[in-house]
Amino acid sequence: MKRCLPILIVAVILAFSQLASSQEDMTVIAPDAFGKLTRPAATFVHDQHNEKAGVEDCVLCHHGGSDGVQDPESSTEGIPCADCHAVQPDKGTTGLSKAYHLQCISCHEQSGKGPLACGQCHVR
Ligand code: HEC
Ligand code: HEC
Ligand code: HEC
Ligand code: HEC
């Protein structure tokens, strides 16, 4: 047991440091749910993007919801969009690709800043 303890401590520290740095290290969005992407993965340097864009409120993007209704108040940071948005959506729900496009592009349109063209996000 005594021998295992240092290994255990290292494992715990590693697990936590990975959690803490996950969005800091993010440079593109490429959820596994799509399988093989047909376009280059969209550029999104999470922390740098949000700093430049001046968006501090996590809920703006990490919104919650259930039973077909969006809840703009409940924060779901850390939960992948794909957990709630299916690649092949049921009728009346927003599919995964549309969820990203709507959220990203509508803010860029509204703020008059940020990329709108396919190749500016799906950079080759
Ligand atoms: C503001 C950024 C942005 C713009 C502009 C944008 N996309 Fe996307 N797109 C995304 C994100 C984010 C995803 C989900 C993650 C990924 O696929 O990289 C995505 C996913 C996709 C997917 C599904 C995943 C795949 O590669 O098969 C397709 C297809 C796609 N976009 C095509 C387009 C086309 C065509 C245009 C232009 C009409 C476009 N996108 C414009 C951000 C953007
Ligand atoms: C402009 C939109 C936006 C804002 C604002 C935003 N995020 Fe995110 N975040 C995303 C997207 C998109 C992803 C990728 C989600 C996915 O994989 O489906 C993500 C992923 C994450 C992840 C998971 C990282 C990983 O590698 O799995 C965490 C944790 C996270 N965000 C935390 C936060 C916190 C905390 C805030 C507020 C300080 C925040 N986010 C603000 C868009 C945003
Ligand atoms: C806890 C579940 C959950 C998570 C996580 C989640 N969503 Fe949603 N989202 C919903 C529900 C429920 C709706 C309403 C039904 C629908 O449109 O599918 C919705 C609706 C939307 C809509 C449509 C809004 C409209 O006005 O039509 C967009 C865009 C969207 N989500 C983007 C995202 C993005 C991008 C992420 C990840 C950063 C995300 N969602 C994460 C549950 C979720
Ligand atoms: C709440 C508003 C908002 C949302 C949501 C948003 N953006 Fe942006 N984005 C901006 C603004 C504002 C800028 C311009 C920042 C500047 O002044 O350079 C920007 C700039 C960018 C840029 C240019 C490079 C950079 O990092 O500044 C990329 C790429 C980008 N956004 C991708 C995305 C993607 C992909 C999503 C969806 C996952 C997204 N954005 C969601 C507001 C937003």
Looking at the predicted structure, is the pLDDT value of residue 14 above 90?
A: no
76-117 residue pLDDT tens = 999 999 999 999 999 999 999 999 999 999 999 999 999 999
If you ran DSSP here, which 8-state letter would residue 44 be given?
A: -
Domain ranges, residue 39? 24-121
> Is residue 70 in some structural domain?
yes
Mutate to test the pocket of ligand 3, among 63, 69, 103 (most ligand atoms within 8 A of CB): 63
Looking at the predicted structure, is the pLDDT value of residue 19 above 80?
A: no
More confident residue, 23 or 13: 23
> Is residue 5 in some structural domain?
no
Our answer on whether the CB atom of 27 is closer than 6 Å to any ligand 2 atom is no
Residue 1's pLDDT band (cuts 50, 70, 90): low
> Is residue 12 in some structural domain?
no
> Is residue 52 in some structural domain?
yes
> E-assigned strands of the chain?
28-29, 42-43, 64-66, 69-71
Query: Which CATH number fits the domain that encloses residue 37?
Result: 3.90.10.10
- Alpha helix ranges (H) inside 54-116: 96-111
Say how many Å lie between the CA of residue 78 and the centre of ligand 2: 6
Mutate to test the pocket of ligand 3, among 60, 74, 93, 94 (most ligand atoms within 8 A of CB): 94
> Is residue 43 in some structural domain?
yes
How many domains is the chain built from? 1
Say how many Å lie between the CA of residue 40 and the centre of ligand 4: 17
> Is residue 7 in some structural domain?
no
User: Which atom of ligand 4 is least distant from the CA of 60?
Assistant: 1
Please check whether residue 98 is in contact with residue 40, taking contact to mean a CB–CB distance below 8 angstroms: no
- Kindly provide the b/e burial profile for residues 45-84, where b requires at least 16 CB atoms within 10 angstroms of the residue's own CB: ebeeebeeeeeeeeeebebebeeeeeeeeebbeeeebeeb
Looking at the predicted structure, is the pLDDT value of residue 55 above 60?
A: yes
> Is residue 8 in some structural domain?
no
Strand partners, 119: none
Please state whether the predicted TM-score (pTM) of the whole model is above 0.85: yes
